[in-house]
Every structure is written in structure tokens, then in C-alpha cells.
Amino acid sequence: MLRLYNTLTHKEEPFAPLHGDVVRMYGCGPTVYARAHIGNFRTYVCLDVLRRTLKYVCGHQVRQAVNYTDVDDKTIKGALESGTSLREYTDTWIHAFREDSARLGIEAPEETPRATDDENMRAMGDMILTLEAKGHAYRRDGSIYFKISTLPQYGQLARLDRDGMKDGAAVDVDEYSKDDPRDFVLWKASKPGEPSWDVGTGAGRPGWHLECSAMALRLLGGPPIDIHAGGVDLVFPHHENEIAQSEGATGTTFARCWFHIEHLFVESEKMSKSLGNVYTIAEIVARGHRPSALRYLLLSSHYRKQLNFTWTGMDQAEEAIRRIVDFRSRLDTVTDSAAHGRVPPQVADARQAFKTALEHDLNTAGALAAVFDLVRDVNAAIDAHEVSAAEAREAADAIDHFDRVLGVVSLRQAEDAEPPVPVEEIERLIGERRAARERRDFAAADRIRKELVERGILLEDNAGGTRWKKK
């Protein structure tokens, strides 16, 4: 049975959906004011593996919502500076996020709400009015704030010291310092030049924390939802404030399990624009690496451990994927009809080890170890001519099953199907290279080969001619 670490209780707990067989899961999505970076995508890749584990290992259905925060201080500032509407400005970054998610093989969630959607705005207004009626909110200068002293359990998720807490000044910022509890803004009064709504709360716009509470409850069928997930940096204040709003309004538990993914570092340093180490997917690709290798690297360590991104690690991820893909291809070449009995128990052991690892708090490192144990053992059996075609098919089925969760082999195969250089151009350059070699202009032939290597295409010469493949 699946066990997950619950940030709220600080322990691993058995997990099963509350209602029937459908897991209702909410993940905090991006604030769409810039292109998401690889640190953001560690969270989304890990959530994707959780989603796939729930579906393909545990056999559940999943109803997942991942939101777009398209109205906050940053998006408004960006829209004003670009001279475009808020909707037009955020559309650009939503498209970029979807494009990058697809490049990393992330399954599309069932719901991708925007905070500014009319139905979500109405849900936020209803929640604020309910909080006011229950004495959890107050108005000041046109804005509306949540009064944390009215909720005894405030601070439970982040383990704040309630005895040392004092009522803070009401503040309008969407984010504030860790361990600095304050009455936080639910609804910000309208300001000149800023977008504004009125959903029974007076003209203004929602605070960041309110958006996720309203959307999660509206889209996932009310409290408690099964899983609420996000990066560890969201524990406080964002998720703590979500709990306060939701439980203050509904009077019941907001989420049963809180699932948080640790930070990504780059070459042992915290990501920072000043250090120039905040990389996007496009920048990773421009350095000659493929999204499938990045996906592998991002899921290669346990999600609750800090992960260090390095360029050497990307090279190692590339080699690891190549080893699995080559093994999967080799299985299709086995034609022996005689069964030997060596492979079936190896496959059974690998399947069980893979399942056990993922059921133990999504231990992806352990799951990958099970995959490579199978690769090693069956390769040895093939070398010894002790594998039949049927047994090879059994091993291939196991690899395909593993990849439904890990998603790296299928992603690599999709990448291979779309070379970085148009096929017509590759064939033309191969022809030019062949002609150069025939006239013994080896310098020109070598220049063509090097050009293709730099663009991600390797050439292999053999007796039958020249074949190409992606680097």
C-alpha cells in the first residue's frame, strides 16, 4: 500500500483516496510572469511521477488541478511594463509553461484554472463573505484581511511557535518572511491603473493565498481534498494561509495529505539571477542536453531530499537513459524460441522492487535501481544465449510498465522521432559530405560532420553507407 510523508503530521502515513477510487489532488502552479525554471520543474516532474504512481502502480483514478496565478503583484507589474493587458501578458507565459511541460513529458492535469476566470473570482468572493460572517476577516481602507488570532490551529503546518506569536500588522504583500506571522490580505483595494473586480467585496483584486483555496475547493468537490502539493518553499506562508482561509470558511479539514518537494540547487549553490544559474528548459537544450535527460535527473533523487543540478549530472543522466533505451531495443532483437527460465523470476523481482520503492513515499531512486538491476541481469542472460523471444517480451513489458511511471524512455523516443535538424537537410548534408569524400576533400567532409554534431546529429559510417542518429 502507498505510504506518503505528510508535512502536516511530520510522518509517513498510509494513503488511499477518501471517496471511492478517485484521488483529488491540487498542486500549486506557476505565477505566470516569466518562464518557469528548472527548480520549478523539479516540483512539477515529481508531481507528475506521483500522479503516474497513483494511476499506474496503485490503480487509482486521479483528478488533478494545477492553477495559473495570473493576477498578483508580479504579473500586474509585468503587464504594465510591457504595455499589454494582464490577460495578454499572462497568456504568453502560460503558453510557455505548457510548452515546457510537454517537452518534459508531464501529463496534463484535468483542471488548469486561472485565478482571473469568472467562476474562480466568484468563488473567492463567496469565501471572503463567509469568512467575514464567521468573524475571521475584517476590512480596513478598502482591503479585507484574515485575522489569524481567530484560528487556534494557525501555524500547525509550518510548526510556528504559537506562544510567541503576536498579532501582526495587516499587510498587503502577497509574500513575507518565514516565521513572520501577520494578518494577511484576502482582498486588495482597487488602485489606479490596476485590474479590478467586484465580487461582492468592493472593487479590488484577490490576494495570492486566497486564489488557491477557492479554486481547490471549487474544482475538487469540497473539503477535504486528498492531496495538496507544491514546493517546500510554499509551506509558509502560502500553504499555511490556504489552510487558515479554507478551514475558517468550511469549519473542516482542508487537505488530508500535504506533499512537498525539496529545493533544487545548481552546482551546489542556490539558484540566483545574480549568479546567472537560473536555467530554463530552452537554456538546457541550448547547452546540448535533451529534456528527457533533465527529466531523468529531476526524478533521480528522493523528492524530500535537496537535489544538486550539475552539468556532469546531466551527462550521467544522458548515459543512464541511453542504457535503458538500448536495452529496450535489444530485447526486440531476441529470436530464440527455447525458454530457459532464467529471466521470468528476474522480471518478477524487478516488478516487485519497483512497486515497493514507489509505495514507500515515492522512492524514485529505489525504483530506478530496480530498473537497472533488470537491465544488468537480462543483458547478462542475453549474452549467455539464455533468453527466448517470449522471455524478452516479458522483460520488455516490464520496462514499458516502469516507463509509464518514470516517463523517460517514451520521452526519449519522441525526441528521437523529431531530430533537431530537418531530415531533408540531414540527408542533403550527408550527400554533400559523400561528394566531398569522393573528391578527397576530407577537410570539407569533416566540417560537415562537425556541424551536424554541434547541432545534435551523429554520423556513423559503415559498409552500407552513412547512417545518422541524434546525439
3-state secondary structure 80-107: HHHCCCHHHHHHHHHHHHHHHHHHCCCC
**What is 15-261's CATH topology?**
Rossmann fold (3.40.50)
Written as nine digits, the cell of 163 is 506562544
pLDDT band at 146 (very low <50, low <70, confident <90, very high): very high
The neighbour count for residue 418, using CB atoms within 10 Å, is 9
Check if the beta carbon of residue 468 is closer than 8 Å to that of residue 457: yes
Q: Tell me what percent of the residues of the chain surpass a pLDDT of 70.
A: 96
The structural domains of the chain, with segments of one domain joined by +, span: 15-261, 266-417, 423-470
pLDDT band at 9 (very low <50, low <70, confident <90, very high): very high
Strand residues in 97-254 grouped as ranges (E): 137-140, 143-146, 184-189, 204-206, 225-231
Q: Which 8-state DSSP code applies to residue 224?
A: P
Check if the beta carbon of residue 216 is closer than 8 Å to that of residue 245: no
Q: What is the pLDDT of residues 54-82, one digit of tens each?
A: 999 999 999 999 999 999 999 999 999 99
Question: When comparing pLDDT for 421 and 397, which is higher?
Answer: 397
Is pLDDT at 5 greater than 80 in this prediction? Answer: yes
Question: For residue 168, what pLDDT is reported?
Answer: 56
Amino acid type, 242: E
Question: For residue 180, what pLDDT is reported?
Answer: 66
Check if the beta carbon of residue 215 is closer than 8 Å to that of residue 183: no
Is pLDDT at 425 greater than 90 in this prediction? Answer: no
- Using alpha carbons only, what angle is made at residue 288 by residues 285 and 293, rounded to the nearest 5 degrees? 70
Is pLDDT at 405 greater than 80 in this prediction? Answer: yes
Question: For residue 31, what pLDDT is reported?
Answer: 96
Q: Give the separation between CA 326 and CA 333, rounded to whole angstroms.
A: 11
Mean pLDDT of 403-410: 98
Q: Give the separation between CA 304 and CA 302, rounded to whole angstroms.
A: 5
Is pLDDT at 215 greater than 70 in this prediction? Answer: yes
168-182, 198-212, 276-290: the lowest-pLDDT one = 168-182
Q: What is the pLDDT of residues 317-354, one digit of tens each?
A: 999 999 999 999 999 999 998 888 999 999 999 999 99
Question: For residue 71, what pLDDT is reported?
Answer: 95
Is pLDDT at 123 greater than 80 in this prediction? Answer: yes
- Cα distances (angstroms) measured from residue 306 to each of 262, 321, 456: 5, 22, 31
Q: Does domain 266-417 have CATH number 3.40.640.10?
A: no
Question: For residue 34, what pLDDT is reported?
Answer: 95
Q: Which of 368, 324, 58, 67 is nearest to 208 (CA)?
A: 67
The secondary element (H helix, E strand) that includes residue 186 is strand 184-189
Q: Is the dihedral of CA 342, 346, 348, 349 positive or negative?
A: positive
Q: What is the pLDDT of residues 157-196, one digit of tens each?
A: 999 876 666 555 566 666 665 556 789 999 999 889 899 9
Alpha-carbon torsion angle 373, 374, 380, 381, nearest 10: 150
Alpha carbon of residue 470 to chain centroid: 26
Mean pLDDT of 141-146: 93
Is pLDDT at 382 greater than 70 in this prediction? Answer: yes
Question: When comparing pLDDT for 19 and 180, which is higher?
Answer: 19
Is pLDDT at 35 greater than 70 in this prediction? Answer: yes
